[in-house]
Copies of this chain bind each other. A is one copy, B any other.
């Protein structure tokens, strides 16, 4: 259909938001709107300016015969700080503390607006990394993993505690939980990861990091490469963590008497990428 600029801007914006980290040839849009590629290029320049000044992400245009455009969602520092502030406020309510020093987060992780925003923030940290899959452990980490995966257009692989008949043949490893010191098992379907795949591990909560370390080892069993690790909340003052180089959004401490909790920023702001940075290896 033939469309005016104003209509094209609406449609291209919607399309790019729904196809992040994919290279869309300019011919896709010029065919769709029966417009010259030069007009599409002008449309994209307007959208690029907006995305970059309003902090929605980067728009990367590739010139030449294989020319195209790729949208990379990125959360700016200001929005990231606002999000962390809102999450801290929600998390600091006293009735979240459960017996045994556990924390009730089911309501927060049940709301798509929080989950999707957390996913966008984590994706922004790893915007310059090549990522082929998001890995998580069932079950609380699953929504966060899909939220990150949606921003990257890559699949999620879910590690389970026991093998399921519906998943075919599996690879399993034993690992030692960092906090309880118990031997546990984790299982992944054999078909779920390719060799050399670059994996970003995402989880909701980290105590000593035993589960994270288990997922690192499991990735290696598949010949995959761990490109990054991110958790929503890490517990502070546990014994030395079993993993390094991870991103955390929030840090939780619970007092000795287990009556009060404190929530601080994790390290995410230090690790956040510059949304307007030039693209590496372009």
Contacts and interface: CB of A to CB of B under 8 A. Distances in A.
Given A47-B10, A139-B138, A112 B166 contact: no
A276 B150 CA distance: 27
Contacts of A102: 165-166
A166 B112 CA distance: 20
Contacts of A139: 138-139, 142, 158, 160
Copies of this chain, tallied across the complex: 2
Contacts of A192: 106-107, 110
A254 to B, nearest CB: 13
Query: What DSSP secondary structure best describes chain A's contact surface?
Result: helix
A223 to B, nearest CB: 18
Contact of A153 (B56, B112, B149, B160): B112
A198 to B, nearest CB: 16
Contact-residue size bin, chain A (C-beta under 8 Å from the other chain): 35 or more
Interface of A: 1, 5-7, 9-11, 13-14, 17-18, 46-47, 49-51, 53-54, 56, 98-100, 102-107, 110-113, 115-116, 138-140, 142-143, 146-147, 149-150, 153-158, 160, 165-168, 189, 191-192
Given A14-B54, A104-B191, A142-B143, 9 more contacts: A107-B155, A107-B192, A110-B155, A110-B158, A112-B153, A112-B155, A139-B160, A143-B146, A146-B146
